Amino acid sequence: MQLKIGNAPCSWGIEAPDSARNPSWKTVLDECQKAGFSGIELGPVGFFPENADILGEALAARDLTLTAGVVFRPFHDPNAWEDVLDGAHRTFKSLVSHGAKTGVLIDSIAEERALTAGRPNEARRLDPADWNSMMDRVETIAKIGTDEYGLNIALHGHAAGFIEYKDEIENTLERIDESILSLCIDTGHCLYAGFDPIQFYKTHRNRTSYFHFKDIDPLVKAVVINQRVNFYQAITQGLFCNLGKGICDFDALFKVMQAANFQGWSTIEQECDPLSNNTLVDAHANHNYLNSILTNL
């Protein structure tokens, strides 16, 4: 196994590119480098400079590689197609400009699903017509990323979107050909959605090209689900804790990844409150924790 681990802007609370609560993009790069990482994801397009020269110089000055980028847009909304296209082309263009190879597709948070995140038996599912319409949009963007930009495009199930639960992810994989759509497994979102990311990887390891590593505090999870807390509010309550402090068994996961000879980049995502004062401390702790597991494999 040749696993390279980067970080992502959401570990600094970056969810929208222009939020007044965001730290500066240079602070994110500085802390990522200081914490020991050699790679970072693009984050929401527009947070980092889209001028390739400016961002390229900043990455090089810190010995950082741009590893991947996420199209986090409302694929479920037929009226948001122009927004989805805009996010896809801008993201893919930035990735190609910096030599990154992976684009990740996420159906972004829907207000009604945010209220039922983590509760598969309560969440409203799309009816067949709306589901097929969404699948057409996902497939179109996957083809654009693969055929026009030469990228590996991976599907990421995400809490509070309409591709969150195990059946929804697997239905998407069944619908869209693996030649244009691989799988990104997010350990935290799997656990929040009620299924085991390790077993999920065992089932889909031949299609899995990328990982997002995050952990979940079981006490916070129990509270936010029982009290039906909005997903974004759950994040600010510490749902995603430092790696190794929650319920994800990273040691077991890495052993399975090693047995499958996983190759390439994956990314730590400790989604947090953007006003957190612990981002550098957390990034450093997460880096050291996963490196210690890799060293002992």
Sort 232 into a burial class: Cβ within 10 Å, 0-12 / 13-18 / 19+.
Answer: middle
Nearest Cα neighbor of 214 from 118, 282, 163 is 282
Tell me what pLDDT residue 273 has. 74
- N-to-C CA span, the chain: 10
19 torsion bin: left (phi>0), alpha (psi -120 to 50), beta (else): beta
> Is the pTM for the entire model greater than 0.85?
yes
* 158-214 per-position pLDDT tens digit: 999 999 999 999 999 999 999 999 999 999 999 999 999 999 999 999 999 999 999
- Domains annotated for the chain, with CATH where assigned, are 2-296 (3.20.20.150)
b/e burial code for range 86-122 (CB count within 10 A of at least 16 → b): ebbbbbbebbbebebbbbbbbbbbbeebbbbbbbbee
* 229-286 per-position pLDDT tens digit: 999 899 889 999 999 999 999 999 999 999 999 999 999 999 887 778 899 999 999 9
